[in-house]
Amino acid sequence: MITVKKKKSVIKRNRILILFLFVFVTYISVTLINQQVKIKELDAVEAQYMEKIEELSEEVDSIEKEIEKSKSEEAIERLAREKLKMVKPDEVIYDIDDEVNPE
């Protein structure tokens, strides 16, 4: 037959074991919850970066198309005329101001 002293010892050991298990389960739960929160935050950051990557890819495509267009003779001539004010031989350019100066 189990004595009262042994019974109390077993109960005390069981309480310590239950307390340890409770603390362990609580720690694991808090850790998992924190990890889930962190994962959601990182998913949001990833979505922002993916959106930025998509925007930059579109910009790169646009610039590449612009580069291809600028390689044509017409584009080069247009830029030479607009930016460098170049003219063909025997060509005259008239510069007309759109503003009217009332005096």
Q: pLDDT, tens digit, for every residue of 23-48?
A: 999 999 999 999 999 999 999 999 99
Instruction: Characterise 74 by phi-psi region: left (phi > 0), alpha (psi -120 to 50), beta (else).
Output: alpha
Q: What kind and span of H or E run contains 34?
A: helix 4-70
Q: Would you say 17 and 23 are in contact if contact means Cβ atoms under 8 Å apart?
A: no
Burial class (CB in 10 A: 0-12, 13-18, 19+), 81: middle
Type of residue found at 62: S
Task: Tell me the per-residue pLDDT of 46-95, one tens digit each, with 9 for 90 and over.
Answer: 999 999 999 999 999 999 998 888 888 888 888 888 888 888 888 887 77
